[in-house]
């Protein structure tokens, strides 16, 4: 038994043994805001009301209601989901410990901070405090009607509330409030990237690790959010475009109705099925998480003095193939629709003529004169990876490096820990390939109990885990993933001139300009058809 006092009351946690060595203290299910129920639905989170006596912090709080295809048996879901979890090696260390705050991904649609995926056992061995939390998802967290009642971004304001809670309370758990690193993957990385430009998040963290995502990925910012809300209402049998009527209708709907229609409400036919996400908020005299144009915000609002580590996995495309439908359907679309190979940013913001011309050039670059088929699925995977993740991540790195120290990587580890092609139901892509899927990096940072078997701490695989977690925790501690010679390599910061990066695989291999030929061609496409999103001269 261990007790810690936070700003809202007294907590009782527990000490647990780490199967990989040592022990740690665990505090779970700590409320960081009022339950967003009733009239608080869709609203910014409100401060928690203090409790009397000792609050037990030994069980996870509920996760946000969600449609979760990776975990269909998920239970304990509720709209009352604003809870934080803290794992610490020592509540009273001699020197305050670096803090790592994990923001989970899942397309702003599913996921949680619970230890079915994001347990502390790997990272905490390196003497850091780990914090995870839940936030509102999908409609509950990202509905936007462009009104004062529903301005959008409630889920991101939840994240800000959690970060403020950490800043205010983490010293009581042995953490250093002046050494906080936020990190996240996929939509969690999109979130981290947005925190780097949001006025609400300024001063709440010192370092950032966006993994496989960025503000500049097309899916990270909402496209026509109000239209999607109207479409959702129609799917539920309510036909109105009046904002007040829509608000009253959505406020009264059971959570199950709102989230179970996920697969029927898409951004548009122009994009993949990431729908309710971070919106451009109008000014209603409230704190706004994000407003304006995201490229302009990256140029002008990026926090300075924040060290950043970012990158992508070798085969990011697996998630897009998973949510895009059966492989046969994707191949049929690629064969039938000329605009299929137009980058999604150009589909969303370019003219029809530009879309068709860009698509023609990209298809020729990737496939020459060959027909798209199962025989060249590797090539299709490369194209989709760049469109959905790599171009946006690289563009963001260019922006980051103008004002901040940046470390760039390409994640290339392969072992039995690479489980996410199966988790995304696209395991057939593994046939004859060593696929390093979108999200495979997670299994080298966290135990990922939902999908993986236990790992032997004397195995070669655990050596990979130890190396990856050391890179991440070194960065959190020092702002440098290789501050000494213990890993046998020096990781140089990324600059516009040198474009240094680290290939993280069985070995750590420094390099310059990852995937250069491919990305240079994408540069030429964006320079010609959508120069605002070009990486040139940033």
Which residues are annotated as catalytic? 186, 316, 438
Question: Is the dihedral angle over the CA atoms 117, 123, 125, 130 positive or is it negative?
Answer: negative
Q: Which of 45, 310, 84 is nearest to 190 (CA)?
A: 310
Radius of gyration of the chain (CA): 22
Q: Which residue has the tokens 């996929």?
A: 186
Tell me which residue of 116, 138, 121 sits closest to 70, measured CA to CA.
116
Q: Residue 221 gets which letter from DSSP?
A: B
* CB-CB contact of 265 with 258 (8 Å): no
**409 close to 311: Cβ distance less than 8 angstroms:** yes
Q: Which residue, chain included where needed, has tokens 């979890």? A: 85
Length reported for the chain: 538
Q: Give the Å distances, CA to CA, from 271 to 127, 218, 280, 366.
A: 42, 9, 18, 20
Q: What are 371's two structure tokens?
A: 């027909």
SS (H, E, C) 157-211: HHHHHHHHHHHHHHHHHCEEEEEEEEEEECHHHHHHHHHCCCHHHCCCCCEEEEE
Secondary structure (3-state) at 289 = coil
| DSSP letters for 371-426 | PPSGGGHHHHHHHHHIIIIIHHHHHHHHHHHHHS-EEEEEE---STT--HHHHTT-
């Amino acid at each position: 038994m261990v007790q810690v006092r936070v700003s809202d009351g007294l907590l009782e946690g527990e000490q647990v043994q780490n199967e990989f060595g040592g022990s740690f203290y665990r505090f779970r299910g700590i409320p960081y805001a009022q339950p967003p129920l009733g009239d608080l639905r869709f609203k910014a989170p409100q401060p928690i009301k203090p409790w009397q006596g000792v609050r037990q912090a030994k069980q996870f709080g509920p996760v946000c209601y969600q449609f979760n295809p990776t975990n269909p048996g998920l239970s304990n879901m509720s709209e009352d989901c604003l809870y934080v979890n803290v794992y610490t090696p020592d509540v009273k260390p001699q020197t305050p410990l670096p803090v790592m705050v994990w923001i989970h991904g899942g397309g702003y649609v599913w996921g949680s901070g619970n230890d079915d995926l994001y347990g502390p056992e790997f990272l905490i061995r390196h003497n850091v405090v780990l914090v995870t939390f839940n936030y509102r998802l999908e409609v509950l967290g990202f509905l936007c009607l462009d009104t004062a009642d529903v301005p959008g971004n409630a889920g991101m304001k939840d994240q800000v509330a959690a970060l403020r809670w950490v800043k205010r309370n983490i010293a009581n758990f042995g953490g250093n409030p002046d050494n906080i690193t936020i990190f996240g993957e996929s939509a969690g990385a999109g979130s981290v990237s947005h925190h780097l430009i949001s006025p609400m998040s300024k001063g709440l963290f010192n370092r950032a690790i966006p993994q496989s995502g960025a503000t500049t990925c097309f899916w990270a910012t909402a496209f026509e959010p109000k239209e999607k809300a109207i479409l959702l209402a129609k799917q539920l049998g309510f036909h109105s475009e009046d904002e007040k009527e829509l608000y009253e209708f959505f406020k009264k709907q059971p959570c199950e109705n709102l989230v179970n229609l996920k697969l029927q409400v898409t951004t548009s036919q122009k994009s993949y099925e990431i729908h309710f996400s971070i919106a451009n908020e109008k000014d209603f005299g409230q704190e706004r998480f994000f407003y304006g144009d995201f490229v302009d915000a990256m140029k002008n609002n990026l926090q300075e003095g924040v060290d950043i580590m970012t990158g992508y996995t070798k085969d990011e495309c697996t998630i897009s193939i998973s949510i895009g439908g059966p492989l046969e359907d994707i191949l049929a679309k690629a064969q039938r629709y000329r605009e299929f190979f137009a980058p999604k940013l150009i589909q969303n913001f370019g003219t029809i003529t530009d879309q068709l011309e860009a698509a023609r050039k990209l298809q020729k670059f990737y496939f020459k004169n060959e027909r798209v088929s199962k025989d060249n699925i590797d090539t299709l995977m490369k194209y989709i990876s760049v469109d959905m993740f790599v171009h946006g991540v690289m563009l963001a790195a260019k922006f980051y490096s103008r004002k901040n120290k940046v470390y760039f990587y390409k994640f290339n580890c392969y072992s039995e820990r690479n489980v996410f092609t199966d988790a995304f139901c696209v395991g057939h892509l593994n046939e004859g390939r060593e696929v390093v899927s979108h999200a495979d990096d997670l299994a080298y940072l966290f135990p990922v109990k939902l999908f993986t078997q236990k790992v032997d701490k004397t195995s070669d695989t655990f050596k990979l885990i130890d190396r990856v977690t050391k890179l991440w925790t070194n960065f959190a501690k020092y702002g440098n993933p290789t501050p000494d010679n213990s890993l046998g390599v020096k990781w140089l910061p990324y600059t516009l001139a040198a474009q240094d990066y680290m290939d993280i695989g069985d070995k750590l291999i420094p390099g310059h300009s990852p995937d250069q030929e491919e990305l240079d061609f994408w540069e030429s496409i964006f320079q010609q058809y959508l120069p605002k999103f070009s990486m040139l001269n940033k």
